[in-house]
Structure 1
Amino acid sequence: MRFRIVAIAALALAASSAASRAADPRYPDWPCTQAKVPEVSLAAVWAGPPLDDVQDKWKDNAKVGALVSKLAARKTPLDDAEKSVKEFLASSASDKTANAKLLFAGLFDTLNAQRSSVMNGLERVTRKQREAADRIRDDTIELQRLQDATPRDDSKVDALSNQLIWETRIFEDRRKVVRFVCEVPTAIDQRLFALGRVIQQEME
């Protein structure tokens, strides 16, 4: 039992140590192997007409707002989203350019906000993992002390052993979730770029 507990704790702490070595020292809490790009620039995803005259106006258009929510949802397959863009702009007639600009402005705002929320969440989890690693280390040291004590209090040893197993399990579960969620900002970037391209094509 003692070897098992120490081994589990050592694995968790090793994972924490690897995660804490940020690839970019500017973002010490960023846990992903992908480089952190805090914001997507408009120029990187939009080569259409300027959006200065629309900006937040898309929020005042109920039809555009509803479509933006649908297109920005990750549960909406990209193929379906692209089809919805084409159908919407095909029905826009003389207002196609204006509606296209409103639609992309809404997507840019909404997907950027989603992206920021995900990235902030990842960094919060990193800080929690660092705190958890500290607790695991301290509890491991305490467990070793209790195991070596004379006389030995088996009830305390068992209680702390169970606590350590629980702590390391949570630590490992979070680590797996982080690895999965690290893919989300890139997926959002790709979605924004793909939908922006379709919108621009439909404007031509």
Structure 2
Amino acid sequence: MTTDSQIRSNVLEEIAWNPCVHIRNLSVVTGQDKGVVTLNGNVDDYDQKWLAGETAGRAFGVAIVQNEIEVCLTEASSRTDSEIAQSVSHALAWLRHIPNANVQVSVVSGRIYLTGILRWEFQKQAVTRSLRTLSGIRDLSNEISISLQLEPTHPYAISSQESFALQRLPHANLELLTKPATGIFP
């Protein structure tokens, strides 16, 4: 069993190993629950905050990372909400596999809030990847939902012939066969 001090040490070593993460006044708090780690400190941009959380999550013994690192923008990197919104719009326009009409964006005090519905998880992740490196942002909240709607021609959709064949099996779960292959997942 990994102790809190071992987990804390693992997180500190993992963060020190990542050359992209530079945190001032870093503190790693453990002990609330097994495997829960809280990060505190200051960074110059949101991407470093995100990378610190991802890096800490890779450390042995960590189950959950509470990333409370504060983004302290310099005067040179500070931008207005309208400038950030314009950058977000341009960044999303370059993502060819993301239907822009399905993503709603609001920017408040340097924090980007995303909502909407996309078909696939990779699309949601691509939006986060493309926006987290933008200059001047303090935080990014991606609340985009996933709505997987399989068309009858989709390779994972079950045809009526396949459905009848499965119903003939003695141990087939007919309830699962009658459920639609659509849904919204947060």
TM-score, length of structure 1 as denominator length = 0.24
The structure that is strand-richer by fraction is 2
Larger Rg: 1
Of structures 1 and 2, the one with the larger relative CO (CA 8 A, separation 6+) is 1
Q: Would you tell me which structure has more helix in proportion to its own residues?
A: 1
